[in-house]
Structure 1
């Protein structure tokens, strides 16, 4: 039977979209096929479903999402009564359940409807659907006592109507009252009650939304600028010094279009970060001349300047009536909402209460959810040397809002702040360090000089080297100021990994040579030579990619570091890859790949794989391994049944070890492009402390995933260090 969760409310303005988004996030962590149903909808676009569809890549036909419009429901109710209305909605709901393992039901919105007693209707529908209920109570602009009373009454109402209430959520309460309300409700309800504070940024309209609502003309600004939240409105009519004192972070400056001094002054303040503004709105259909606009564009690139024909008073009336909404076009609001939900809701307990049927399939989205949840469980600090790179800043914002890890960004601090302000990004909670001026630079230089003295590195040269952000970040990891590092969005693989070989090394104390190779381009575009300190079970540094296919996750190694490993090194790569797979929830069944299967082929390349397989069996008899084996026999059960019918690995391999870099690198890229797989990595393994590389074409989500992986690796390193 399909499990369903019904998110509903008691009145309008409760901001329950935060809860709907948070519950959807939880459900997609656990199952692959999640459907959405909204019993009643206003005519027009369903912005929340559009957001869910875009964010969670839902394939559901939009025509199946909605039961009836409010007008249709009102007519049916007046002509045939409540039973007929409920019957029609139940039929449409069950049409959705046939195709999905779990359904998120989004209750009526209590806004401009002709349906009486919507609370009772929502309760009736939840019961008829067999859905558990999460009621949401809005607490905005209410006293603490009023919020507590309304929450208790809401629980009694839904419980009294026979609903299975999973939990109560109180949303949008005053931040200063949040803890007191949560404490008082904790002992007065038989179900958990989660209290979320009001976040002004969630209800603040973006500049793009303001532009659309006012019919404004865009004079200057790019997409990132238009996506900024307008947290406040400051109306400019006074002299410039007075206006500058009135500016607040994230405000939209509203000024007559002929006040070029206020326009330039506001943008100059933004450029200096004192404070960063959302943009400028010009009234009276006046726009400064080309010379002023050219100066404005140079002062604050990307910052929006928009123009309306009305004067300030009617413009103010419209602005103060606007409320920002989460849509598919505001992904940053969605991240902020999820961060709020995950901070104040015990998601582990709520997921248990939902008890949706677990899926044997592991989709790319489920794997990504698992990474973030695992990293969040024991927060580590990750250093990002490319602190001025736009994609890194966007990823940092996501990681901070979701509470995945603590972050240190490296680079000129004022430059980072200005870039973040230009992008409308909030880096609150992060640490910003400029390696060139940091008080740590002298100590790091001494450390590096000692480590590389055998290579002739002097103290003067070391001082210059550690001014480089990647070397500085690597030394932060080595010296315990950070737990891991991620770089490579703009640096080459060599620039990212070589400092790790020189400073951190592999997991033992003896020094060994890593395979020699040339360095080329970004992550997975070539191998990197270096030296490292080895441990018995990690003789070399190697890498894996997590290949997220439609219904499972495979681990590919080594596709980025070692060009032509010998049998002993190949065995080491297999053992490391099995450990990495298990660390991230993939049960290792190792396939040692070759161009022949079993005993069907001979030759030096096959013999190398055969020898490596035997070495793994000798060292780690607990690991399931097969080799040599061809790729199709490793992953396809029908082929395996013919070629290796008695194998425990053939046809169901999860860890695939390639005989050389040429084969591995080309195969992962072929699968990524041809099969539409998401490739997460390369994930380096064998280093004493985690450092990971990015492709220079990495997307924001790639960076988020890699940082989460690095944080998880750091958790394991910390546990091992504590045990020693």
Structure 2
């Protein structure tokens, strides 16, 4: 769930969504990839609300991955992959515990709101999750409401995310039909689940407590009544006999602190059944009530909230306009009102049906890479890298060693490897890897003998076997053959033929497989595709193509990709003919 702009009322929608889900399963979690908090000791308001109200079985620390400040620092260091990696890691930890997770995007309230929106798009794409867009309807012009929604839909769909639905919150009731009609005309067919929630004065009105906190006000009276809501503000500059008839229900009166007559008359009006009840008094200029007035107030019961600020009246009135009202776990009235609005104006049955019908569009690239690393770390293997002097290989080795994913053996001269590391500025602790120069390795003679025994029937002699074993591709492949390594990764500087030739000669194919083939994992923007064979068999027969397709599909399954096989040639559809096309069709 993500908003199209700041202050769309996502708390109301998140309350409604979690309530809807809890009616189907108790195993519901909430997660925010990035939270915006002023200090480490403060909690995210939205998460805190959901955890406390629904009593979710979830620790607060498990509900988010980063603070906005941490993400900004990492992006300044050009480490976007680290940001997404931790988000996926924290999300996957929750996925193992819960049947459903509501993932809530960033607030879009900072100066870098465009960047925050991009993060939301990237997270939805990385997690492969459908997107519920929450938009603000608190605008006079319909186009101003619809345009951000259309832009957001385009942005998410361009990255392969599916739109679950759109909720326009805080709309003027008279605009509900025009907004709905405009969206239905302009939205694509797969984004037509639209809900419009009307504005609520109760939810939009801040409490005196929120106003006092925002302004840094001192509470003079009414400490126990600070949760009274202010449905508006009135600056009182008139005499008592003139302003009393202008009072409106539940407004907060703003007046300089030395206006004793206004202070007392306002409280009396609040107490009288002849005038509307008031939210309280906000005194300005830092001048509190006179001692005689305070003595009078001290002797009266049930004083409504009176708060005091140092700022001038005009400055205070300007600042109060930016006070935001929040739904908090201790405000049951607002929670009840929110759930009622959601139930009345959102077709929860349609959302549940849509959730069931949405089909995954393949595994997202970031999730694929995360799963790959997790599988490797869970079953740590020993990998030999024959091209130990290549900067790309050493950079990859540093990353793998840092994350403790595999055991690494580098083939090459240690001094050469150190020179490359220094030249490239790479940080690799060589004490955590094994470095072997083939001819100096203790197993060299044993490997030569083994190669001679395996290939003597093909006319190879001991001298030739010794020469071949100096080759890092032969040495690395023999490590795998002898069980001294679990696998070999090569091809950064060596050709495919050079890399595969030793394996053809003495490792051979898997039982039941007659054709050696390869696959590429292509991490596209929105999915991972497996291409086979692109490197080994240049002109396969129809039978070989079929076997390659089956082997590629089996490899895809091993890596968590559901195989759907397409046979490709250079010709699309019916446009071409000839031997190459017919072989694929056959």
- What range is the shorter-chain TM-score in? 0.5 to 0.7
User: Is the 8 Å Cα contact of residues 201 and 231 (structure 1) preserved in structure 2?
Assistant: yes
Partner of 2:320: helix, strand, or coil? helix
> Distance in 2 between the 1:114 and 1:149 partners?
20
For residues 512-661 of structure 1, the aligned pairs below 5 Å read: none
> Distance in 2 between the 1:178 and 1:295 partners?
51
Tell me the CA shift for residue 145 of structure 1. Answer: 2.8
Equivalence for 2:501: none
Tell me the CA shift for residue 29 of structure 1. Answer: 2.0
> Distance in 2 between the 1:150 and 1:115 partners?
13
Equivalence for 2:239: 239
CA-atom RMSD, angstroms?
2.8
Tell me the CA shift for residue 68 of structure 1. Answer: 1.2
Equivalence for 2:91: 93
Partner of 2:106: helix, strand, or coil? coil
Equivalence for 1:268: 268
Tell me the CA shift for residue 184 of structure 1. Answer: 3.7
For residues 12-91 of structure 1, the aligned pairs below 5 Å read: 12-43=6-37, 44=39, 45-91=43-89
> Distance in 1 between the 2:70 and 2:120 partners?
17
> Distance in 1 between the 2:349 and 2:197 partners?
17
After superposition, what is the alpha-carbon deviation per residue over 1:604-637, rounded to whole angstroms, capped at 9, x for unaligned?
A: xxxxxxxxxxxxxxxxxxxxxxxxxxxxxxxxxx
> Distance in 2 between the 1:283 and 1:169 partners?
40
Provide closer, same or farther for how the CA distance between residues 75 and 281 of structure 1 changes in structure 2, counting only shifts above 3 A.
Answer: closer
User: Is the 8 Å Cα contact of residues 139 and 145 (structure 2) preserved in structure 1?
Assistant: no
> Distance in 2 between the 1:211 and 1:309 partners?
12
User: Is the 8 Å Cα contact of residues 70 and 115 (structure 1) preserved in structure 2?
Assistant: no
Tell me the CA shift for residue 297 of structure 1. Answer: 7.5
Provide closer, same or farther for how the CA distance between residues 125 and 309 of structure 1 changes in structure 2, counting only shifts above 3 A.
Answer: closer
Tell me the CA shift for residue 55 of structure 1. Answer: 0.6
For residues 476-487 of structure 1, the aligned pairs below 5 Å read: none
For residues 228-627 of structure 1, the aligned pairs below 5 Å read: 228-273=228-273, 274-288=275-289, 292=293, 301=302, 303-355=304-356
Gaps of 5+ in 1: 1-6, 357-724
Partner of 2:17: helix, strand, or coil? helix
Higher mean Cα deviation, 19-28 or 292-301? 292-301
After superposition, what is the alpha-carbon deviation per residue over 1:548-603, rounded to whole angstroms, capped at 9, x for unaligned?
A: xxxxxxxxxxxxxxxxxxxxxxxxxxxxxxxxxxxxxxxxxxxxxxxxxxxxxxxx
After superposition, what is the alpha-carbon deviation per residue over 1:134-162, rounded to whole angstroms, capped at 9, x for unaligned?
A: 01122323401332343333333322321
Provide closer, same or farther for how the CA distance between residues 342 and 294 of structure 1 changes in structure 2, counting only shifts above 3 A.
Answer: farther
After superposition, what is the alpha-carbon deviation per residue over 1:64-113, rounded to whole angstroms, capped at 9, x for unaligned?
A: 11111223222333434434432221111111212222111110122226
> Distance in 2 between the 1:350 and 1:297 partners?
55
Tell me the CA shift for residue 207 of structure 1. Answer: 0.4
Task: Report which of the two structures shows the higher radius of gyration computed on alpha carbons.
Answer: 2
Partner of 1:35: helix, strand, or coil? strand
> Distance in 1 between the 2:355 and 2:16 partners?
13
Please give the TM-score of this superposition, normalised by the length of structure 2: 0.55
Partner of 1:324: helix, strand, or coil? coil
Of 106, 128, 151 in structure 2, the residue corresponding to residue 130 of structure 1 is 128
Tell me the CA shift for residue 53 of structure 1. Answer: 1.4
Tell me the CA shift for residue 193 of structure 1. Answer: 0.8
1:221 partnered with 2:222: yes
Partner of 1:166: helix, strand, or coil? strand
After superposition, what is the alpha-carbon deviation per residue over 1:517-574, rounded to whole angstroms, capped at 9, x for unaligned?
A: xxxxxxxxxxxxxxxxxxxxxxxxxxxxxxxxxxxxxxxxxxxxxxxxxxxxxxxxxx
User: Is the 8 Å Cα contact of residues 267 and 303 (structure 2) preserved in structure 1?
Assistant: no
After superposition, what is the alpha-carbon deviation per residue over 1:157-209, rounded to whole angstroms, capped at 9, x for unaligned?
A: 32232112111111223333223212443455432111122334323321011
Partner of 1:155: helix, strand, or coil? helix
Equivalence for 2:374: none
Tell me the CA shift for residue 300 of structure 1. Answer: 7.4
Provide closer, same or farther for how the CA distance between residues 59 and 262 of structure 1 changes in structure 2, counting only shifts above 3 A.
Answer: same
Provide closer, same or farther for how the CA distance between residues 213 and 74 of structure 1 changes in structure 2, counting only shifts above 3 A.
Answer: closer
Equivalence for 1:518: none
Equivalence for 1:637: none
Equivalence for 1:105: 103
After superposition, what is the alpha-carbon deviation per residue over 1:373-427, rounded to whole angstroms, capped at 9, x for unaligned?
A: xxxxxxxxxxxxxxxxxxxxxxxxxxxxxxxxxxxxxxxxxxxxxxxxxxxxxxx
Tell me the CA shift for residue 56 of structure 1. Answer: 0.8
Provide closer, same or farther for how the CA distance between residues 91 and 249 of structure 1 changes in structure 2, counting only shifts above 3 A.
Answer: same
Higher mean Cα deviation, 152-161 or 48-57? 152-161
After superposition, what is the alpha-carbon deviation per residue over 1:260-319, rounded to whole angstroms, capped at 9, x for unaligned?
A: 322232223323353221111222344446775576588772521222233312322321
> Distance in 1 between the 2:352 and 2:301 partners?
45
Provide closer, same or farther for how the CA distance between residues 298 and 338 of structure 1 changes in structure 2, counting only shifts above 3 A.
Answer: farther
Gaps of 5+ in 2: 358-586
After superposition, what is the alpha-carbon deviation per residue over 1:642-674, rounded to whole angstroms, capped at 9, x for unaligned?
A: xxxxxxxxxxxxxxxxxxxxxxxxxxxxxxxxx
Tell me the CA shift for residue 117 of structure 1. Answer: 4.2
What is the count of residue pairs matched by the alignment?
Answer: 350
> Distance in 2 between the 1:301 and 1:121 partners?
50
